[in-house]
Chains A and B, each alone.
Chain A
Amino acid sequence: MCYSEDPEYTGAAVIALVGNPNTGKSTIFNALTGLSQHTGNWPGKTVLKAQGTYVFHGKKYVVVDLPGTYSLQSGSAEEQVAQDFLCGKRLQATVVVTDATCLERNLNLVLQVMEVTSRVIVCVNLIDEAQRKKIFIDLDCLSAELGVPVVATAARSGTGLEELKVKIEEISFKRIITNPRRLVYDPDIEEAVALIEQNLPGSVKEHFNPRWFALRLVEGNQSLLKEIEKLKWSAPCEPYRISYSGPDSKNHIPGS
């Protein structure tokens, strides 16, 4: 967990890779970082998160490869790892790796990640596989629908990786500001969320995206209530936050 404390990473932009199992996250990770974990063609290969670095246009990036997950809601170990990482810390960018051959299922996770952070890049991987299966994806349209950058890649042959790095750079250094699509739930849920959001303690709002946090409470997520207790007593003083606080730090809230 402690990339923030590693002196090697101070000043580097932190990028998370998330995605459904078996979408090629580890292949993208290897391609970006030049590391070579063994990738396997089966879901569940990455149980622990892996971490590597690369340099692009003179800036250093730390890439964290999270275990594959279908959602950010339920309680399995890998979902917990992904959720904790995305929610608890502030990342410069999050790349959601999706499988072009079954985009619909993958979009569920994209929509959920966009509720946590606005600094999202959608990577439509296995685009070669999709072409082979005669599946065509209108990338511009997808980008417009989601309100975040979309990059098509075929990580195994290296297609699209350069463009992905460019997008990561643009998001990390706020050259482009995203406008992620916001999910609108049933009116009674929205009402409850708004009410909770207003009354969240300030410390929670600093650590989490308030809307996301409120939604989880509406759902009945008990473990987050414990987080509130914890935050009451601990000052927000992680080394990572100190080095990155500034004009950036408030801007992870979607729709703000």
Chain B
Amino acid sequence: MNLTESPIRDRIVKTIYQEAESITSRVVRRKKSVFDWDTKLDDILTSWWFGLPIMFLLLGLVFWLTIIGANYPSQLLAKILFWGQDQLSVIFQWFGAPQWLHDFFVLGVYRTVAWVVSVMLPPMAIFFPLFALLEDLGYLPRLAFNLDRLFKLAGAHGKQALTMCMGFGCNAAGVTACRIIESPRERLIAVLTNNFVPCNGRFPTLITLAFIFMGGLAGVGAASLTVAGIVMTGVAVTLLTAWFLSKTLLKGVPSTFALELSPYRLPQIGRTIIRSLLDRTVIILTRAVLVAAPAGGLVWVLANVRPGEHSILVQGAGLLQPLGKALGLDGFILLSFILGLPANEIVLPILLMSYLSVSSMVEPDNLLALKMLLVNGQGWTWLTALCTMLFSLLHFPCGTTLFTIWRETKSAKWTGLAIIIPFMVASMVCFAINWTIRTLGLI
């Protein structure tokens, strides 16, 4: 359908526009406004020099508030939930339940759920309202505006920045949001690269690891800049991948579009916070718990069924160990990402459970104990943490997102590529970082 080139259509549109203009002239009166805040603010927020640095700092600020704010409630929640685990054990004993039943439900299902809740809830309850406030202020279109020239250089569509913002909440929502991009070529690019925006399922992992491994060096500031840096890496990888795709599989030139810079509005702070708590936090947490409970049970079974000398979990991790090591990870980390396919939220809990099943360490009920488990028990270094964070950022979309990609593209080929491309990118980046740091002897 090539309507845009029909001269008759142009004449019809012209008549409509003239009519609208003439009505407006009779109906609307405007006084020259005293001081135009919007324009002044836009000059700064979308300027060539300050636009991107301000974006980086704003993101950093949001993460800083999240990490600072989440730390204490996180520990408190962990204390309460693990106290609950002890009580649960008592109840099971009182009923005289067999040991395996107790272990399956308490050490498998309950423990995983408790970790998911204590690790995820506090950062989410702070991050989402903050992000919703930015959204209500009207910052997102400016962000898209800033990134537009970069996307154009990469051969992609400027509106992709908006779909990426949705991806912060949930990649599946981000993929659906790609419908706002008209051109099928650019929509596919946006769909295939949406995964490089860390969704809420991965933020807690990033924040926790950054806090443990990078926070130690220079406090919370360093940790939040690390997370902001990881997000920026995601943006950079998105642009590079988009560029690569538009030169190879999805050749073409970017189409032009008009982006409306909506007016700044003072957000209704109270309502926004409550809405984002109810709409996003509770719903997402519920979903995470629903996935975590069976996954926790499954991992417990894998960790305790021993066909040979070792459990299935250990055997699987052993198989993946060489690849994991090459990527700066280990077999257990890689296995957790694979087992965590249903939802990214459960990757870290699965990993901790796998480690616990092979080591005699006590359960980590706070971040310090968690660090002890990872560093002393499993030999993690800051490089392991960095590679895990990068792999988490880049690896492959979760099950829900893959289903959404299939639904949106109706194509097994593109859904397959949505797994393969990110996995290749993640492997290459982790391998390169690991190899460089080790070769340079920085660790």
| Contact between A103 and B11, CB atoms less than 8 A apart | no
Most chain B Cβ neighbours within 10 Å, of A43, A101, A112: A43
A202-226 toward B: CB 8 Å interface, digit per residue (1/0)?
0000000000000100111111000
Q: Is A1 in contact with chain B by the CB < 8 A criterion?
A: no
Could you tell me the distance between the alpha carbons of A135 and B28 in the complex, rounded to whole angstroms?
7
> Known: A44-B162, A134-B31. Is A220-B8 also a contact (CB below 8 A)?
yes
Complex interface: chain B residues within 8 A of A41 (CB) = 135-138, 140-141, 262, 265, 267
Could you tell me the distance between the alpha carbons of A44 and B263 in the complex, rounded to whole angstroms?
15
Chain B nearest CB: distance from A229 CB in Å?
Answer: 16
| Contact between B27 and A42, CB atoms less than 8 A apart | no
> Known: A77-B179, A137-B27. Is A218-B16 also a contact (CB below 8 A)?
no
Which of the 9-residue segments B18-26, B66-74, B194-202, B309-317 touches chain A? B18-26
* Of the residues A73, A74, A104, contact of B20 by C-beta under 8 Å: A104
Which of the 9-residue segments A139-147, A161-169, A233-241 touches chain B? A139-147
| Contact between B135 and A42, CB atoms less than 8 A apart | yes
Most chain A Cβ neighbours within 10 Å, of B140, B176, B177, B260: B260
Complex interface: chain A residues within 8 A of B132 (CB) = 38, 40
Complex interface: chain B residues within 8 A of A133 (CB) = 30, 33
Complex interface: chain A residues within 8 A of B280 (CB) = 38
| Contact between A107 and B20, CB atoms less than 8 A apart | yes
The residue in chain A whose Cβ has the minimal distance to the Cβ of B180 is A44
| Contact between A137 and B182, CB atoms less than 8 A apart | no
> Known: A75-B182, A107-B23, A146-B23. Is A43-B262 also a contact (CB below 8 A)?
yes
Q: How many residues of A contact B (CB 8 A)?
A: 53
Q: Is A138 in contact with chain B by the CB < 8 A criterion?
A: yes
| Contact between A219 and B279, CB atoms less than 8 A apart | no
Q: Is A36 in contact with chain B by the CB < 8 A criterion?
A: yes
Which of the 9-residue segments A11-19, A172-180, A181-189, A244-252 touches chain B? A181-189
| Contact between B27 and A141, CB atoms less than 8 A apart | yes
> Known: A44-B162, A136-B29. Is A220-B9 also a contact (CB below 8 A)?
yes
Could you tell me the distance between the alpha carbons of A44 and B1 in the complex, rounded to whole angstroms?
23
B372-383 toward A: CB 8 Å interface, digit per residue (1/0)?
000000000000
The residue in chain A whose Cβ has the minimal distance to the Cβ of B3 is A74
The residue in chain A whose Cβ has the minimal distance to the Cβ of B18 is A183
Could you tell me the distance between the alpha carbons of A235 and B71 in the complex, rounded to whole angstroms?
64
Q: Is A78 in contact with chain B by the CB < 8 A criterion?
A: yes
Q: Which 3 A-B pairs have the closest CB atoms?
A: A107-B20, A134-B31, A44-B180
Q: A74-B3, A146-B23 are in contact. List 19 more A-B contacts (CB 8 A).
A: A22-B260, A38-B275, A38-B276, A40-B135, A40-B140, A47-B179, A73-B9, A77-B179, A101-B263, A107-B23, A134-B33, A135-B31, A136-B28, A136-B30, A142-B23, A142-B27, A189-B12, A219-B8, A219-B9
- 12 A/B residue pairs, CB under 8 Å, sorted by A: A22-B260, A36-B275, A42-B262, A71-B13, A77-B180, A107-B20, A107-B23, A108-B16, A135-B28, A185-B11, A189-B8, A219-B3
